[in-house]
Structure 1
Amino acid sequence: MIKKSLFAAVFFVFAAIFLYAQTQDTYALSLYNSEKYKQTISQCKAELEKNPNNLDIYTILCWSLLKNGQYREAEYWATEALKISQYDHRIIEILAEAKYFLGNNDAALAFFQQYISLVRMNASRIGDAYYYMGEIYIRKAMFNHADISLSVAVRFSPRNDNWLTRLGYAREMAKNYREAALAYTKALEINPTHQDAARGKERISKYIY
């Protein structure tokens, strides 16, 4: 009887701890979804002091830091999270974005590639990963590579006029003018006021016969 009572007591303690952690995760996520990023950051840091191994809280914290433009801090916390789980795809994608915005192109590219290797093709950030890879290739003047990455990205978000415009630009820089025209035209069909797409289409018009 004593053993059963002790087991029950231990069970309820662990259940209470689990429910508390779940409640805090949900609260932090609700703050994030409400776009209260500074509050989310404070809440997550407070929770990590109590439970420094909570990867869900690390993830929400880093998402908020990215949204708040605090890329260096997002890089720091994501790096700390990887010490707990080096193959958590959420943290790897966050670290890739942080390094992208910090201009660390090669490291960002490597992390985006790792993220893609870890997730299924219906993962929530897969399109974004290919988009950022395309932008990195544009930065590196590897325009055919950029074309490939951005072409994949727009398959996941076919009505994203900004991504289509960047695809058009990559093709334009690769002197693939007819394909560039297709991308610019599609972007303008979605958003007729997109100035970059309009200027791009005008620039390449002299090369298309």
Structure 2
Amino acid sequence: MRNEKLLGFALRILVFLAVIAIGVALIFVVKAVLYNQPTTPRTEVEREIMDAEAAVKSSPTSVKARIMLSLAYSRAGRYNEAIEEASIAVKLDNNNATAYYALGVARSRAGDTEEAIAALNKCVKLNTGLADVYQQAYYELGEIYMREGKYKDAIKAYYGALSEGPEATYVVMALARAYEKAGETKNAIEQYRSILDYDPTNQEAKDALVRLGVKLKK
């Protein structure tokens, strides 16, 4: 009888210790899930950020690395960090058009409209021969003006973008929308038609022309 009691007591001790061990293991698992940082990027943007952060760490005074990191942060929605990196790039080289472009993009995404316009205007005025950068800067200006309801300014900006690359269909589409919003129907129709000349299957342009009363050939 005494042996049976001892055996029962020992079993209870073992069960108690097993429960404690399981509890401790669960705590470590939860901590690992909650606090461990991922070692590999899950998205393309995360990869861009990791690469750019590594470039900045390797060369803190590299304007190119700061710009890359700023643009990556903007794509990830981390606008304050994007502004900080672009501002550093501008301080490192205040004649770098791409640095001002990155700053303008970050400011625009953050809702800092006036600061964004100032940075983008600085970019296009530097005129250092970077057609792609200038086209994107003008386009970004146009998008800001569209959001602000300043359609005339948007039209002017989109023409600036097209001066750097007239084949950019997305800019022509933006220009057509701006004309339509400004009530300049004839010009809007002309731009929508030019899109169909380049891409006869463009449904957005077709829908816009129908909306503006144009009968399309079937």
- TM over 0.5, yes or no? yes
Aligned partners of 1:71 and 1:199: how far apart in 2? 35
1:183 and 2:191 are equivalent in the alignment: yes
Larger radius of gyration: 2
| One of 136, 143, 148 as aligned partner of 2:151 | 143
Aligned partners of 1:124 and 1:50: how far apart in 2? 27
State the Cα distance separating 1:189 from its structure 2 match. Answer: 2.2
Query: 2:118 maps to which residue?
Result: 110
What is the number of residues matched between the two proteins?
172
Aligned partners of 2:47 and 2:180: how far apart in 1? 43
1:54 and 2:58 are equivalent in the alignment: no
State the Cα distance separating 1:168 from its structure 2 match. Answer: 0.8
1:27-56 residue CA offsets vs partner (Å, 9 max, x unmatched):
xxxxxxxx9543343243234334322222
Query: 1:92 maps to which residue?
Result: 100
1:41 and 2:63 are equivalent in the alignment: no
Query: 1:124 maps to which residue?
Result: 132
Aligned partners of 1:48 and 1:134: how far apart in 2? 31
Aligned partners of 2:132 and 2:169: how far apart in 1? 19
1:159-202 residue CA offsets vs partner (Å, 9 max, x unmatched):
32221111111111222111111111111222333333222222
Instruction: Give yes or no for contact 1:161–1:188 (8 Å, CA) kept in 2.
Output: no
Q: 1:50 to 1:122 in 2, by over 3 A?
A: closer
Aligned partners of 1:185 and 1:134: how far apart in 2? 21
Aligned partners of 1:159 and 1:124: how far apart in 2? 12
| One of 148, 156, 160 as aligned partner of 1:152 | 160
Instruction: Give yes or no for contact 1:53–1:84 (8 Å, CA) kept in 2.
Output: yes
Query: 1:192 maps to which residue?
Result: 200
1:72 and 2:66 are equivalent in the alignment: no
Q: 1:154 to 1:45 in 2, by over 3 A?
A: same
Q: 1:43 to 1:170 in 2, by over 3 A?
A: closer
Structure 2 gap segments, 5+ residues each = 1-42
Instruction: Give yes or no for contact 1:40–1:64 (8 Å, CA) kept in 2.
Output: yes
Aligned partners of 2:70 and 2:102: how far apart in 1? 7
Instruction: Give yes or no for contact 2:142–2:153 (8 Å, CA) kept in 1.
Output: yes
Root-mean-square deviation over aligned CA pairs: 2.4
State the Cα distance separating 1:123 from its structure 2 match. Answer: 3.3
Secondary structure of 1:205's match? coil
Q: 1:99 to 1:184 in 2, by over 3 A?
A: same
Q: 1:105 to 1:199 in 2, by over 3 A?
A: farther
State TM-score, norm by structure 2: 0.68
Q: Percent identity?
A: 24
Instruction: Give yes or no for contact 1:188–1:194 (8 Å, CA) kept in 2.
Output: yes
1:116-144 residue CA offsets vs partner (Å, 9 max, x unmatched):
11123553311111111111111111111
State TM-score, norm by structure 1: 0.71
Instruction: Give yes or no for contact 1:160–1:187 (8 Å, CA) kept in 2.
Output: no
Amino acid across the alignment from 1:172: E
